[in-house]
Amino acid sequence: MGSRSSHAARIPDVDSIQRETGFSQASLLRLYHRFRALDSNEKGYLSRVDLQQIGELAVNPLGDRIIDSFFPDGSLQLDFPAFVRVLAHFRPVDDEDHGNRDPREAEPLNSRMNKLRFAFQLYDLDRDGKISRHEMLQVLRLMLGVQVTEEQLESIADRTVQEADEDGDGAVSFLEFAKGNGTFYLARTVSRAKCQSQEIRPEEDSRWGKGWLLKGKCRVIIRRGNDAGQAKQEISISVRLTK
């Protein structure tokens, strides 16, 4: 706190961090100050305890999980670049047309899919890419608190998983999770698709009306259904859909 530098140059590797996360110099500086403020004994890194000492986080039902997400793979230290990298998930989505971007380039951290992935891994404790019924139950227990009985909770968890579960494996995969959050209604909203391989063709289906048959790796441009701001949103996904 004491060493308030007003210059972004004081931050180590400021350029590479900026390139990776997309934060402006000013926000990086602000974050750096915050980082230093959280760092209790000037260690140069944050420990779990540092974050746990934030009072408001203690009452947040998901507080522990969020702290965990700052410390991936069981690491105990959080340096500034990693700190910023996690926070970069929460930058607003860039408006530039992603269709022109090189598909091989890594998606920016603040893309919609990465935001969702961040939320997803808060549910997915064992990191198997699926929210099992048990994991759902744990989240629900946190969210609902003690207000309902255990068996009610279990039936809610059942119901929640069933609702999102499409392939019948009794768990929610990331794709199903994303769909549940209204990110894309694939069947209805695919308006344009770039295929890297294989085929894509429109198909008439009795249930969905006109639809698309996607096969292979595709980059699809979809029209988001429920977001007021943007009519079009482009998300690159690699789906293998067989009908």
Chain residues that interact with another protein, rule: CB under 8 A = 31, 34, 37-38, 51, 54, 56-57, 59-63, 66, 70, 87, 90, 92, 118-119, 122-123, 133, 139-140, 143-145, 147-148, 151-152, 154-156, 158-160, 162-168, 170, 172, 176-177, 179-182, 186-187, 207-208, 211, 225-231, 241-243
| Of 102 and 167, CB closest to another protein | 167
- 11 by Cβ neighbours in 10 Å (0-12 / 13-18 / 19+) ranks as buried
Q: What angle do CA 94, 130, 158 make, to 5 degrees?
A: 115
Q: How far is the CB of 56 from another protein (least distance, A)?
A: 4
Q: How far is the CB of 69 from another protein (least distance, A)?
A: 9
| Of 45 and 118, CB closest to another protein | 118
| Of 22 and 180, CB closest to another protein | 180
Q: What angle do CA 52, 53, 55 make, to 5 degrees?
A: 105
Q: How far is the CB of 241 from another protein (least distance, A)?
A: 6
Which token pair is 98? 């992603």
Q: H or E segment at 106?
A: none
| Of 95 and 102, CB closest to another protein | 95
Strands of the sheet with 232-236, listed across from one edge: 190-195, 218-223, 232-236
Q: Residues 135, 123: contact at Cβ < 8 Å?
A: yes
Q: How far is the CB of 143 from another protein (least distance, A)?
A: 5
Residues 6+ apart with CB under 8 A from 242: 215
